Amino acid sequence: MSKHSQFDKAQKIVYEKLGKEKWAQKKGCLALVDIKRQDFFIGDEFSPPLHEARIKYPDTIFVTIRIGYNAAYTTGASLKPIEV
């Protein structure tokens, strides 16, 4: 992983806080990550964690990732697993 992109920073925060076992269990879930606070919200769909995140941090811009994959969403392409 590149250490410079917001996406990679978000993946790293979630991986380090969840740990290897929980990371594997949550693979494929969406996570909205506040990089500045190193906090995140996880859900199977986008809306529930977004609602929870907006209540806690109403003025924050979040990075959305799909745990263990190279993108949160794709159009006309497939998601690829990543190595951490």
pLDDT, tens digit (0-9, with 9 covering 90-100), for 8-55: 999 999 999 999 999 999 999 999 999 999 999 999 999 999 999 999
Residue 76 covered by a domain:
no
The answer to whether position 82 is within a domain reads no
Is position 84 within any domain?
A: no
Burial string for 5-35 (b: 16+ CB within 10 Å, else e) reads eebbbbbbbbbeebeeeebeebeebbbbbbb
pLDDT of residue 4: 63
Q: In the predicted model, is pLDDT for residue 60 greater than 80?
A: yes
In-domain check, residue 80: no
Please report the pLDDT score of residue 79 as a whole number.
Answer: 79
Establish if 81 belongs to a structural domain. Answer: no
pTM over 0.85: no
Number of separate domains in the chain: 1
CA distance 21 to 76: 31
